[in-house]
């Protein structure tokens, strides 16, 4: 059974940093592109970043470029999101999500974690 379990959320002051983790199990993690998607309270879904299966390429939402870094440790079956210079508008539930192995031009998320809440407030 595929499982994605996020952790690391919490309350942080504006300008602070936080690192989110996503522990993957039930599939060969090193073969899949992985993503972070967030959802502000009462708002819609917003893709944040993704990373290729081998870590060779990363893409980011424009508003987090230069502040957030996505990385992975395939030996530990884990995905991470390092968030620096946090702003109030980064407050959201952050989901770890997997793209299917053979997505081709049809990129979507076939499995999601349960999410971890990040609150940026003084």
Stretch that binds other proteins, among 8-16, 56-64, 69-77, 78-86 (CB under 8 A): 56-64
CB of 10 to other proteins, least distance (A): 19
DSSP strand pairing (45-51 vs 34-39): antiparallel
From candidates 40, 45, 88, 101, binder to other proteins by CB under 8 A: 45
Nearest CA among 59, 61, 39, 32 for reference residue 48: 61
Q: Going along 40-77, which residue ranges are E strands? A: 45-51, 58-60, 68-73
Stretch that binds other proteins, among 12-20, 24-32, 42-50, 75-83 (CB under 8 A): 42-50
Considering only residues 73 to 102 of the shown chain, the ones binding other proteins according to CB under 8 A are 95
- Please classify residue 90 by burial: count the beta carbons closer than 10 Å to its beta carbon, then call 0-12 exposed, 13-18 middle and 19+ buried: buried
Asked whether position 27 contacts other proteins by CB under 8 A, the answer is no
Matching residue, tokens 């793209």: 99
Instruction: Catalog residues that contact other proteins under the rule CB under 8 A.
Output: 35, 37, 44-47, 50, 57, 59-62, 95, 105-110, 112-115
């Amino acid at each position: 059974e595929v499982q994605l379990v996020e952790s690391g959320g919490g309350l942080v002051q504006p300008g602070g940093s936080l690192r989110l983790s996503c522990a993957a199990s039930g599939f060969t993690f090193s073969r899949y592109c992985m993503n972070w998607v967030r959802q502000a309270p009462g708002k819609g879904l917003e893709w944040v970043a993704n990373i290729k299966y081998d870590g060779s390429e990363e893409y980011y939402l424009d508003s987090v470029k230069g502040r957030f870094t996505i990385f992975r440790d395939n030996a530990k079956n884990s995905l991470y999101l390092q968030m620096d210079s946090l702003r109030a508008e980064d407050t959201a539930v952050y989901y770890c999500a997997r793209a299917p192995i053979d997505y081709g031009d049809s990129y979507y998320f076939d499995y999601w974690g349960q999410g971890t809440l990040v609150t940026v407030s003084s």
